[in-house]
Every structure is written in C-alpha cells, then in structure tokens.
Structure 1
Amino acid sequence: MIKSFPGFEATTDTEPFWFLGGQARILLPGRATGDAMSLMEFSDPIGHAPPHHVHENEEELWFVLDGEVCFFVGDKRHDLIPGQVAFGPRGVPHSYLVHSEGARLAVVFSPAGIEEWFRANGVPVTDARDIPPAFDLASIVGSAEAFKLRVTGPPPTL
C-alpha cells in the first residue's frame, strides 16, 4: 500500500498484469514522483528471461525480493539472492534469468515513463490461478522504440 505524504500523490493503480509470461505491477507510477522515478514489481517463473535490451532513457535498479536471479549487465554476470541489488545503467545492454522456481523483483526506473510501456503491453490478471496468456513478442518489441528501448539480442537461457 502506498501512503501519502506532502508532495506525494497516492495511487491505488497497482493491479497485476501479465507481461512476457510473468506478472508485473506498477507500485509507484512516474506521475507520483514528478516523473523522477517509478517502481514496479515483477513475479516471474523459473527460466523467465526478457531479451537482452538497452534503455537509452532510464537507469534500472533491481532488488531481489524472493528467489534466485542471474543479471547480465554489459559483459558482467551477477547471481543474486533475496536482499541483493543489481544496477543497470542507461545505454548498457542487460537482461536477467530466473534460476529458482520463481522470483519476485522490485525494480526502480529513473527517470520514470517506461512503466507506461509495460502497462500498454500487459494483459490484466483476472484470477491469480490463471496461466499467462500468449504474447506477441514482435508487437511488444515494435512498441518499444517510442520509449527508447531496443532489443540487442535473445534472452539468456538456463
């Protein structure tokens, strides 16, 4: 739950949605921070990995809440467990791969804005027991250009 304090607009827009086979939620949209940053949560199954990609506009900070996740940032590999953090600077290719049965990540984007790309390409979760719907990766990638995000390679694999 997000609480209000002076200068902060509270939001309840945190309903989960499917994205690339995992679930995502926008916990703190950019509009609540003057577009300085946004905060999202991702819950992904074992083997989940987005394609290698580059954000030209924002920095990314990943915080592992549950599970084991391997982050690839540039030519470096970081194997993280709950409580550990990885940083993805703008302009540097990166991806991640879930090694455990599932993982939850809190991700800060700065500046904000990219959360709207995730939302636009997501499908609402209507039942927590649902299985992820099929997704059109080409369509999702095609919409990324407007957010200065570009795919640089395939996803890492187990």
Structure 2
Amino acid sequence: MTSPFFPTLGRAPDREPFWFLGGQARILIPGGATDNRFSLMEFADTVGHGPPHHVHEDEEAVWFVLDGEVTFFIGDQRHDLAAGQVAFGPRGVPHSYLVRSPQGARIGVLFSPACVEEFFRANGVPVAEAGELPPDVDQALVMASSDPFHLRLTGAPPA
C-alpha cells in the first residue's frame, strides 16, 4: 500500500549511485517524496574513508551501519559501530566518520528535515559502470558550495 508520504520508489535516475568525496552515494528517498520531512541516503565507502569534520546547521542525522565497521566522531565523543548499530548526529554538532573494516562499509543516513541530499547530488559525479574508479575530488570546491545548505567545515577527515 502506498501512502502520500511514502510512494513506491522504482529504480529512478535519482536512485542511481554517484561518486561523492571518493565513495559512492545514492538518494533512496528524496525530500520531495516526504514533503521535505526527511530524506534517506546510502553511502558505500572503502577502508580509511571519511569526510571532513563538518556541521549541519539545519538537519539531524541518523546513521545506520548496514555493512562493515565505522567509527563516528560526534562532538567530542567517539562511537565504534558495526553492522546493525546506529548513531545520532544532532544539528549544530561537528561530526565525521572513518570506515575501519577492510571490506569497506555501507551506511544508511536519515536526514531530517530533508534538502541536504541536494548538496550531495550537486557535488556528485555519476557512476558510469561498476568497478569504475572514483574521480579526483576538489574538497575546497565541494565545501565552497555548502553555504546555501548551511554546512560548515570544522576540520580535516579523521585518520
């Protein structure tokens, strides 16, 4: 059964994977499908991958580790998580993560309210085929486009 806020989502171009900061991302439920109440994304990253420390001023984030092991840095706290575990990132709190498992990790991320998924889409590069290597990333250029989304860089990626 389909509700007005949870339409059945087929394999639309919006759900196709794209490269973002060296990993792959997909928008599973765009904000437009939920009246911008939330969006749901999936990130697939290799061992040692992590985005720069940053702050979302407008949205909360809930991370679900789907596969692998990931360390989340939220404020001054460290959370070592494995598949099936969840972390919460309040708006306004600096955060990042680091993939620890050799096979990489997949992370589901719920953002509320929605719209930040458009930042990821705008800075992504379509994945032409499986096995393609990620393109080089100009992190300064990516972060320069973050102002309209109220994202703020607060530090380097964790190591």
C-alpha separation in 2, matches of 1:19 and 1:117:
10
C-alpha separation in 2, matches of 1:70 and 1:5:
36
Matches of residues 1-158 of structure 1 in structure 2 within 5 Å? 5-8=2-5, 9-11=7-9, 12=12, 13-101=14-102, 102-157=104-159
Could you report, residue by residue, the CA deviation over 1:104-147 in whole angstroms, capped at 9, with x for unpaired residues?
00000000000000000000000111010101111100000110
Could you report, residue by residue, the CA deviation over 1:76-123 in whole angstroms, capped at 9, with x for unpaired residues?
000000000000000000000000120000000000000000000000
C-alpha separation in 2, matches of 1:77 and 1:136:
27
- Percent identity reads 65
TM-score, reference length from structure 1: 0.95
C-alpha separation in 2, matches of 1:74 and 1:129:
35
Q: Secondary structure at the match of 1:49?
A: coil
* Runs of 4+, deviation exceeding 3 Å: 8-11
TM-score, reference length from structure 2: 0.95
Gaps of 5+ in 2: none
**Number of equivalences:** 154
Letter in 2 for 1:127: E
Instruction: Give the CA RMSD over aligned residues.
Output: 0.9
